[in-house]
Chains A and B, each alone.
Chain A
Amino acid sequence: MKEEFNIISNLIEENTRVLDVGCGNGDLMKFLQENKTKDIRGLEISKEKVQNCLSKGLTVIEGNAESDLKQFPKSSFDYVILSQTLQAFLNPELVINELLKVGKKVIVTIPNFGYWRVRLQLLFKGTMPVTENLPHEWYNTPNLHMCTIKDFYNFCSTKNIKIYKSIALKKSRISEINKSNLNYKNLDSHLGIFLIES
């Protein structure tokens, strides 16, 4: 978690306006508030988590990214963050489009389904992968649309979404993703972090 927060924080310029979509208990918001910018909002679907955020004095709205991002005007945030949540939406493409409208830049992080540990489980065990990063069983997972780093990379080029920066994370090792190392990073990283713009 800590490495992901650091990477996200490094992608953000100081004193900018940030929206964290699917902000959970507000840990990333708190982290960014202490390190980068005071002007940060959150959107979260779970009442309990919204309550936890509000209790910490964080500005969070209870709502659903698929329907409630519309209320924010175009480019009203410098950065919109979607941390490890994309796979849980019914319609990830729609959400990405909404994020790109609301934010001048968007940071998306993706639990990589192409990570070798994940692939091995399906290959050898023949069961849906359960890992530290993807702890749910197939019957109770909130993840409807798992994808790989390569999937998301290809998605961006197909949809003409500019990738400013793409970073691969393995445990605490950070590296850049580019066209030539894409297959390798897709195999060897548990998390992909993308800074994109429409």
Chain B
Amino acid sequence: MNKNIDTKKIIISNPLKLDCGKEINNFPIAYETYGELNSEKSNAILVFHALTGDQYVSGKNPITNKDGWWSYVVGENKPIDTNKFFVICANVMGGCMGSYGPSTINESTGKQIGTDFPIITINDMVNAQYELIKYLEIEKLFAVVGGSMGGMQVLQFVANFPDKAKLAIPIACTSSHSAQNIAFNELGRQAIMADSKWENGFYSNYKLNPDKGLAVARMAAHITYLSEKGLQEKFGRKLQDRDSLRYGFEADFQIESYLRYQGSVFVDRFDANSYLYITRAMDYFDLSKQYKGNLSDAFKKTKTKFFVISFTSDWLYPTSENREIVIALNSIGADVGFIEIESDKGHDSFLLDVPSFLKTLGDYINSTYKIINERRI
């Protein structure tokens, strides 16, 4: 969003060749860090955010004034304990929280780049974030962690930089975006582009915002993050602030009111073009295709330890797709652990208070940190 965000930012001067063929340089990557880097620089964890996340993993998000998006996982005395670990998170390229994206101002025109922004991929995002790791002078990360699109970045990161992380934890993700996921993303994009205020992506030139379209995109996507059981239990057919149906199109049902609310708060913090670009990057993600159809080859060069996590009620990135990653790793004898966590909270489980997830993740990270440090790998 075109806001003045007081955020940590580096300008990457090295030219970066994007998958689309364009080359960029002198572009900003915004980031945030938590905790302290130890003297051996052995306690750094790079967290990758999901589609609508940002660099504000923990604490208060200065833009929304709400808790950071992974406050259950990252923070003091949390599973990823910032008393112990140095946590880094960057806003992805294409995002709207200070990194290079469609809402970045083009200095020569003084206007937002809009849809002149190049198409970017998960690979491009990861390559840009690697520049940040170099800038922070971290030779080897202890871990790379992320859920959903963050998990895809974890996979891509290890494939691109096989000796730069000791541990990789992809959560609730996939190695290749499914037809169903592309379909939902396309629905969201079409909602935005159907908004007359979108103006082919140059809405900011007219001081417009395709907020209706973006809100619909968010509402549709939000449904995919929940489970049917969760929705039914939380909302059922309960009515919103009324005793009977009104025979109209107002939000009679609580679920309608809830989705409208989710849509309306989203448009205040997220840029419609960023939504287009980032969903496109997810759709283009197909790691096995990058390795001629053999996903195992993506990990052949790495000694990184993997821990894959899925959730029972996640139908957007179901256990079967997470298992494919495990199978690919097993077939080359990689070091991989896997668990499917029981949860009714759907794909969003990784962001929410799911005690068995938080405990397993925290215990695993902490005992692995101890084991690896003892062995001085």
Contact = CB atoms under 8 A, between A and B. Distances in A.
A61 B367 contact: no
Given A50-B339, A62-B340, A63-B338, A55 B364 contact: yes
B363 interface: yes
Nearest to B296: A73
A56 interface: yes
B336 interface: yes
Nearest to B310: A62
B190 interface: no
B339 A51 contact: yes
Interface string A36-61: 00100100000100110011111111
Given A57-B367, A57-B368, A51 B356 contact: yes
Interface in B334-377: 335-342, 356, 359-360, 363-364, 367-368, 370-371, 375
Interface residues of B, number: 26
Nearest to B306: A59
A178 interface: no
B115 to A, nearest CB: 43
A59 B336 contact: yes
Given A51-B360, A55-B363, A61 B307 contact: no
Given A51-B356, A59-B305, A62-B339, A76 B363 contact: no
Nearest to A62: B339
A72 interface: yes
Given A47-B342, A54-B364, A55-B359, A60 B337 contact: yes
A51 B340 CA distance: 10
A73 B326 CA distance: 13
A71 B360 CA distance: 24
B290 interface: no
Given A50-B339, A51-B356, A57 B327 contact: no
Interface string A116-146: 0000000000000000000000000000000
Given A57-B371, A61-B338, A63-B338, A71 B326 contact: yes
A73 B337 contact: no
A56 B307 CA distance: 13
B331 interface: yes
A59 B359 CA distance: 16
B360 A55 contact: yes
Given A61-B330, A71-B331, A47 B339 contact: yes
Given A57-B368, A57-B371, A62-B340, A76 B333 contact: yes
Nearest to B360: A51
Contacts of B326: 61, 71
Nearest to B335: A59
A73 B331 contact: yes
A68 to B, nearest CB: 9
A73 to B, nearest CB: 6
Contacts of B333: 17, 73, 76
17 contacts: A51-B339, A51-B359, A55-B360, A55-B364, A55-B367, A56-B363, A57-B363, A57-B364, A57-B367, A57-B368, A57-B371, A58-B337, A60-B337, A61-B338, A62-B338, A71-B330, A72-B330
Interface of A: 17, 38, 41, 47, 50-51, 54-63, 71-73, 76
Given A47-B341, A55-B360, A59-B337, 8 more contacts: A47-B342, A54-B360, A57-B364, A58-B337, A62-B339, A71-B326, A71-B330, A73-B333
Interface of B: 305, 307, 326-327, 330-333, 335-342, 356, 359-360, 363-364, 367-368, 370-371, 375
Nearest 5 CB-CB pairings of A with B: A57-B367, A55-B363, A71-B327, A61-B338, A57-B368
